[in-house]
Amino acid sequence: MIVVDTNAVSEAARGVPDTNVDDWFDHRIGDELYVTATIMAELCFGIELMPLGRRRSTLQSRIDLVLGQYFADRVLPFDGMAARAYATIHATRRRSGCPMSMADAQIAATCLVNGATLATRNVCDFQGCGIRLVNPWAR
């Protein structure tokens, strides 16, 4: 199981995505890819912040296409188990002097309780959270 972070979903939705990311997606088995509810919220929030117009509607269409193609019915919830893991991860990171955003801690917690690898460009943001990481931009 691989959870695809917001930045990787956004990259896949670009008109011309990075070739490494494009190849990475092409070599995945469709049913191994997931997003989390938090990632969906980040994507939707980013679009909602954009002014109405062609750019926003184009991005919305591309995001909808990528979500439908790779993640149909594969959205992991932020549930009670994830909430407990979130509290531990978030507090541990803060105490260690390496705080992380609430969204990133929720994503890490959801991955942890589901035994999922996280595919992200921001590998360093998630180190020390107890999850496996992969960078689709790296060769």
- The whole-angstrom separation of Cα 19 and Cα 99 is 32
Tell me the C-alpha distance between 23 and 4, whole Å.
14
pTM (2 decimals)? 0.93
The yes/no answer on whether domain 2-134 falls in CATH 3.40.50.1010 is: yes
User: pLDDT averaged over the chain?
Assistant: 94
The answer to whether residue 59 scores a pLDDT higher than 80 is yes
Q: pLDDT tens across 20-31, in order?
A: 999 998 888 778
Within a 13 Å sphere around the CA of 13, how many CA atoms are in the beta-carbon half?
A: 26
